[in-house]
Amino acid sequence: MRYEINIEEMKRRYQIKDNKIGLTHKPGKSISIFPYTIGRIPKESKPKFKNSVASFSRKIVKKTMDNMFDGELYMNNILSNVEENEDPTVFKSILNEMFFNKDGSLNIFHPKVLAYIYANGYDNKLGEFIYDVLINGDEETYSKVEKIYNTKPNNTLIKLLFNSLEELKDKKSDKLTYHNCVDEIRNRFKEDFLFIVKDHKTYIENIESLLKFYYFMYVAQTALKFRRFFDEDENEIDKIYFNLDWENTSRSRVSYAEGWRKVESAVHSIFSHANCLEILNHNNMDKELIYDDIKKILDNMNEEEAEAFIDNMDEVLAVYTNNLEDMEWENLSLGDKYNHNRLYKKVYELFSTIDYQFSVSKRKDLHKRYRLWFEEFCKENFLKSRGRLGFTLNLTEDYLLFMTRIIIKEDEKMKLKDFFKEFERRGVFLDRDSRKNITNLFDKLNILEKKSDSGDAQYVKRVL
């Protein structure tokens, strides 16, 4: 199978001129992997995940919102639907106290309200990213969400508020922007998402926590998958170990090396991978490719196609390296990785070249800024500082109970050993000490049913 990178397209994307040395790293044209940019996170308006939930909510029901929610207009709509003998001043005061926040935004009294939170810039882009990689246009999911969004509440007052919402505009195009790289995470998400979408209360209470978890896990697993390069099993979920918020930890725990340190190391190179795949996707194929797709193509090349590929990659590397004047390329070492396969080696050389120049040049800061969007999210939601140990991945008691609810769903109980397997299916691994601490907590909370002390005879009861 002939595979060839279009050099001229690559030059246009990277703003490479024949009469001028230099290039601009700007992935996201031939394939979009992550929603991040090299721009600094604004201190005055840090990302708000609830806004990304709103963006996700609009995309899933194929709606768009051009302007900020107008609370005053909405209040007037409500009052216009109330009988005239009601005192508008008193009623307005009651509504403000019960359904409006101090900043004028609405309390989430119905799933549909989520779509009325305004989001722009990065918040909007992140919500669309989460939709693209986790929902991916799935019609079953769309129909379930559409039903719950459009189901009118039974409560008279809530129904009044629901009916007074201005209808959002239909979105003309539902084109997917971001490429899904980890099908297993998307499959697990669908399973859990369809559970919470069963009723209004469950959805409202759990949607933000669910999206936060799967956003973290998807990006972490994508970074780990890319680090495995051509060695990976395309359906494999990498082990990521978490600690519990209330337990002590140490360097000897498996969660120290196989938790955040492992994820952080992989995330360090996501900008390099985004650029490598950007170049590799300026090709003669009619679909987007990630490393496992490229591996299949390389494995099926005949000798003539292989020689042409090597020549093409040499030209790509020459164009790239010749346009970065500040580099001493002789210091780049590829090691012995893929010495057994010259085709794999050439692709790995492209990645290593990109990653090397980000590591040692003045462009190091761009590399850092790109991944910082994800790292800051992790610090706010899933990391805990452990003093000299640095940060570790962290599950609070609340998040543990949330995950328990999601895992057991509507079953009355689940075997303890199966319960931990379900965590692992979602990418969360726990060492022996953490499992023991969870068992003790569940016993204390009276949601552990013991028939003996063995795992086979212990059950975790459903969390309401």
355 vs 367: CA distance, rounded Å = 9
Q: Tell me, letter by letter, the H, E, C secondary structure of 145-174.
A: HHHHHHCCCCCHHHHHHHHCCCCCEECCCC
Regarding whether 372 and 256 lie in a shared domain, the answer is yes
Regarding whether 287 and 148 lie in a shared domain, the answer is no
333 vs 128: CA distance, rounded Å = 38
Neighbours of 99 (CB within 10 A): 18
294 with 350: CB under 8 angstroms? no
184 vs 188: CA distance, rounded Å = 6
CA distances from 447 to 66, 406, 407, 454 (A): 46, 15, 14, 16
Beta bridge partners of 170: 63
In a domain, 8, yes or no: yes
Regarding whether 365 and 436 lie in a shared domain, the answer is no
In a domain, 78, yes or no: yes
- In this predicted structure, what is the pLDDT of residue 85? 61
In a domain, 216, yes or no: no
In a domain, 40, yes or no: no
Residue 35 phi/psi, 5° resolution? -90, 10
Over its C-alpha atoms, the chain yields an Rg (Å, rounded) of 25
In a domain, 37, yes or no: no
116 with 69: CB under 8 angstroms? yes
Regarding whether 120 and 28 lie in a shared domain, the answer is no
Instruction: Please tell me the pTM assigned to this model.
Output: 0.95
Regarding whether 139 and 58 lie in a shared domain, the answer is yes
**Token output for 124:** 């909007």
* Residue ranges in the chain modelled with pLDDT below 70: 84-86, 232-235, 452-456
Among residues 350, 377, 395, the one where a domain terminates is 395
**Token output for 82:** 């109330």
Neighbours of 133 (CB within 10 A): 27
302 vs 415: CA distance, rounded Å = 52
415 vs 413: CA distance, rounded Å = 7
In a domain, 369, yes or no: yes
In a domain, 209, yes or no: no
Domain count, the chain: 3
Regarding whether 376 and 254 lie in a shared domain, the answer is yes
287 with 274: CB under 8 angstroms? no
Regarding whether 289 and 389 lie in a shared domain, the answer is yes
Regarding whether 256 and 297 lie in a shared domain, the answer is yes
56 with 131: CB under 8 angstroms? yes
Among residues 136, 151, 177, the one where a domain terminates is 177
Regarding whether 390 and 250 lie in a shared domain, the answer is yes
- In this predicted structure, what is the pLDDT of residue 45? 77
Regarding whether 289 and 410 lie in a shared domain, the answer is no
CATH of the domain at 417: 1.10.10
Among residues 395, 417, 446, the one where a domain terminates is 395
458-461: strand order across its sheet = 413-415, 458-461, 448-450
- In this predicted structure, what is the pLDDT of residue 194? 96
- In this predicted structure, what is the pLDDT of residue 284? 92
Regarding whether 108 and 20 lie in a shared domain, the answer is no
Q: Taking Cα atoms as reference points, which of 346, 357, 365, 272 lies closest to residue 322?
A: 357
- In this predicted structure, what is the pLDDT of residue 247? 95
- In this predicted structure, what is the pLDDT of residue 454? 61
The residue range of the domain holding 262 is 1-32+230-395
Regarding whether 302 and 434 lie in a shared domain, the answer is no
In a domain, 221, yes or no: no
